[in-house]
Structure 1
């Protein structure tokens, strides 16, 4: 029997739950219902339902689904989705329920067991949704084109508060943009408004490379004395960075020796950045939220001083 869905605000969590509940005992019926229930969903809603359903499947359900070609194909597609960068829609979605479900699906698919457990317990979690942007963009001052979402499932509220954010450094902090003679250390950085150099020389070429926080799950606590004269948050364990070793403004597999598991320590904070109107994110690798919305960001967290932060690379 097909689940009755509100076309404006479909209960995609119910779709996922119904499939997972039925798959072990009646896999063919579950697959038929799944196709019917998801046919009218948007691509984002369908992907979210799949992530939620996959996280709830028992090993018996997976074995039962693997007994047919259509079930095997569905499981393979879901596994492939886990390996691919997720599409990041413009948030918030039409309703809080959809926004919460989308972000919860990301945590369930990509978070650590501890983060997943915290989500299921209704504890506050932060989700970072990154859209890759060149460090050279906006003359090296960064772009607020990412999201940080504060999820809170406490007392059954299931709220999702969305904030613009920057999760990558701007080239204003790159040594390549530093003045040299009548130009720059690297001519590709001639348009950058240079501030000062930060980073670490990973490949021994004499140039410090800027870094960004590598996608993954990190546990943050309150940073003693804050940062930039405001409340801020600091990881409790050593973070892993990616560094732009070839200086093209991107962080990808063609960067030799880009993974830096040691030198960052816990210095990639979550803190306030410049206002949206200023056009400067103040990020040298930290996760920054615009100063004009930072009070609302802090208010959404209440007095919570520690939380899991799940950061994903999307598109």
Structure 2
């Protein structure tokens, strides 16, 4: 018997839980019900259900599912999904329940055990969803095309408050954009509105490279005295950065020596940025939220002074 799902607001978490509970004892029945329950879901909803279900499978369930070709194929597909960058839809989704389920699925799939435990215990955590953007975009001033989501499962609330964010630096902070003669240090940066140089020279070419926070899980606490005259948050342990060593505005495997595990320390904060109307994110690698919505972000945090932050590279 299949679950009757509300087409407007399907209870994806219940579908995932039912599959995980049935998989060990009755794998064929679980697979049949899974197909029936998910056939009408959207691709985002189906991916969410898969992440939620996969996170609940114990070794007995995996062994039982692996005993058949359909079960093995499903497990292989779910493992492949874990290795791929997730699709990031425009958030929030139609309902709070769907938004929370989507974000929880990402945390369960990609967070550290500490972050996963915090989520399961209903503690507040933050999820950063990054859509890669060139540092040269918007004349180097950054773009608010990422999301930071405040997840709160306390007291059964299960809320997901979504805020526009920038998780990558703008080229306005790159030494390559600095004036040199009648041009710039790097001609590719001629259109950038230069502010000042930040970063670290990773490859010894004499140019400091801007960096972004590498995807992963970090633990943040309240930053003493705040930042930019407002409340802000700082990692409690050394962060890992990626640096644009070839200067093309992107952070990828084409950048020699791009991984910087030490020099950034804990200086990639979460803090307020310029307003959305200003067109400037103020990010030199920090996670910034527009000043016009920052009060709502702080209100959603309440008095919480420490939390896990799970940052994911999506598309």
Q: TM over 0.5, yes or no? A: yes
> What SS does the aligned partner of 2:135 have?
coil
C-alpha deviation, 1:237, in angstroms: 0.1
C-alpha deviation, 1:272, in angstroms: 0.1
C-alpha deviation, 1:148, in angstroms: 0.2
C-alpha deviation, 1:211, in angstroms: 0.1
CA deviations on 1:4-61 (whole Å, 9 max, x unpaired) are 1000000000110000000000000100000010000000000000000000001000
> What SS does the aligned partner of 1:267 have?
coil
> What SS does the aligned partner of 1:220 have?
strand
C-alpha deviation, 1:249, in angstroms: 0.1
Tell me the matched-pair count. 315
> What SS does the aligned partner of 1:98 have?
helix
C-alpha deviation, 1:307, in angstroms: 0.3
> What SS does the aligned partner of 1:208 have?
coil
In the aligned structure 1, how far is the partner of 2:96 from the partner of 2:271? Answer: 25
User: In the alignment, which residue of structure 1 is the partner of 2:50?
Assistant: 50
CA deviations on 1:258-291 (whole Å, 9 max, x unpaired) are 0000000000000000000000000000000000
CA deviations on 1:139-177 (whole Å, 9 max, x unpaired) are 000000000000000000000000000000000000000
C-alpha deviation, 1:206, in angstroms: 0.3
C-alpha deviation, 1:297, in angstroms: 0.2
In the aligned structure 2, how far is the partner of 1:69 from the partner of 1:184? Answer: 59
In the aligned structure 2, how far is the partner of 1:129 from the partner of 1:256? Answer: 25
C-alpha deviation, 1:190, in angstroms: 0.3
C-alpha deviation, 1:246, in angstroms: 0.3
> What SS does the aligned partner of 1:148 have?
strand
Q: Give the gaps of 5 or more residues in structure 2.
A: none
In the aligned structure 1, how far is the partner of 2:37 from the partner of 2:247? Answer: 47
CA deviations on 1:210-268 (whole Å, 9 max, x unpaired) are 00000000000000000000000000000000000000000001100000000000000
Q: Give the gaps of 5 or more residues in structure 1.
A: none
In the aligned structure 2, how far is the partner of 1:48 from the partner of 1:108? Answer: 10
In the aligned structure 1, how far is the partner of 2:105 from the partner of 2:57? Answer: 14
> What SS does the aligned partner of 1:34 have?
helix
In the aligned structure 2, how far is the partner of 1:252 from the partner of 1:22? Answer: 41
TM-score, normalised to structure 1, is 1.00
In the aligned structure 1, how far is the partner of 2:178 from the partner of 2:211? Answer: 17
C-alpha deviation, 1:62, in angstroms: 0.1
In the aligned structure 2, how far is the partner of 1:108 from the partner of 1:116? Answer: 6
In the aligned structure 1, how far is the partner of 2:159 from the partner of 2:309? Answer: 16
In the aligned structure 2, how far is the partner of 1:207 from the partner of 1:301? Answer: 38
TM-score, normalised to structure 2, is 1.00
> What SS does the aligned partner of 1:192 have?
coil
RMSD (Å) for aligned C-alpha atoms = 0.3
